[in-house]
């Protein structure tokens, strides 16, 4: 049982390049989330998904796209990377919040640097 | 809006010292409150939680009490160990039942010296 895994662990991009971050979970969770973590800002929600084939915007969605084609995978895309997207990205998953206790399970993170 | 304010870090303590990390919140309604911990090189893990006023969450020697009157959820441990070195995040859940999201504080880095 691997929990939540993220690929890659580190990446350096040049401004304007594109990339996709992959998140996978093996806990059969319906909900999945993408956060970014910046110094002094805590974690901020980028996008989330409440089930296969669905996505929704979070607090800071601009510049990112997501897809949830399979229940176990949640992809985060940067079409044209900008230095402001330099951050650590965390994926998380959970059962629906109606199911108690409500807890999100996090992956180990992806450190992205855009030069 | 909903927000969480955490004690600024970093915090450095000697082994066996008493730990307090302050957390206060602003929220509408009655949020659940959480402490998450992030060990070096790992993702966040739930440390403890409390779902209503006066509840005490506890785990691994850590405790936090949901204080509605002071809108606080301070994390405490009586005797810290080197293995407690990590970043600690306070968080609250908000939103309609079944549609909650988490709002996190900025995190407090804790270093324990042998």
> pLDDT (tens digit, 9 = 90+) per residue, B54-66?
999 999 999 999 9
Are A81 and A70 in contact, with CB atoms under 8 Å apart?
A: no
Alpha-carbon distance A27 to nearest alpha carbon in chain B (angstroms): 15
The per-residue pLDDT for range A32-77, each reduced to its tens digit, is: 999 999 987 889 999 999 999 999 999 999 999 999 999 999 999 9
Are B59 and A59 in contact, with CB atoms under 8 Å apart?
A: no
**Per-residue model confidence (pLDDT) at position A101:** 65
Residue of B57, B102, B107 for testing the chain A interface, max A β-carbons within 10 Å? B102
Is the minimum CB–CB distance between B45 and chain A shorter than 8 Å?
yes
Alpha-carbon distance A1 to nearest alpha carbon in chain B (angstroms): 16
**Per-residue model confidence (pLDDT) at position A73:** 98
Q: How far apart are alpha carbons B92 and B51 in whole angstroms? A: 10
Sign, CA torsion A55/A56/A57/A62: positive
**pLDDT (average), residues B88-109:** 86
* Residue A67 exposed, middle or buried by CB count within 10 Å (0-12, 13-18, 19+): middle
Q: How far apart are alpha carbons A76 and A98 in whole angstroms? A: 25
Q: Judge: B43–A4 Cβ closer than 8 Å, yes or no.
A: yes
The helix or strand, by DSSP H or E, that contains position A37, with its residue range, turns out to be strand A31-38
Q: Judge: A97–B98 Cβ closer than 8 Å, yes or no.
A: yes
């Amino acid at each position: 049982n691997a929990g939540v895994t993220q690929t890659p662990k580190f990446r350096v991009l040049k401004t304007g390049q594109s990339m996709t971050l992959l998140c996978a979970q093996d806990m059969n969770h319906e909900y999945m989330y993408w956060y970014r973590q910046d110094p002094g800002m805590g974690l901020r929600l980028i996008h989330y998904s409440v089930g296969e084939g669905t996505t929704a915007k979070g607090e800071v969605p601009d510049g990112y796209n997501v897809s949830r084609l399979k229940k176990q995978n949640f992809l985060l895309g940067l079409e044209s990377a900008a230095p402001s997207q330099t951050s650590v990205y965390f994926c998380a998953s959970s059962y629906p919040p109606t199911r108690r206790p409500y807890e999100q399970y996090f992956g180990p993170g992806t450190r992205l640097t855009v030069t | 809006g909903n927000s969480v304010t955490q004690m600024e870090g970093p915090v450095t303590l000697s082994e066996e010292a008493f730990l307090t990390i302050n957390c206060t919140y602003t929220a509408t309604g009655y949020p659940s409150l959480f402490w998450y911990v992030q060990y070096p090189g790992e993702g966040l893990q739930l440390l403890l939680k409390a779902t209503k006023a006066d509840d005490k969450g506890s785990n691994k020697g850590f405790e936090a009490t949901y204080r509605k009157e002071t809108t606080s959820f301070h994390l405490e441990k009586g005797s810290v160990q080197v293995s407690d070195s990590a970043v600690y995040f306070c968080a609250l859940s908000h939103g309609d039942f079944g549609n909650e999201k988490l709002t996190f504080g900025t995190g407090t880095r804790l270093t324990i010296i042998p």
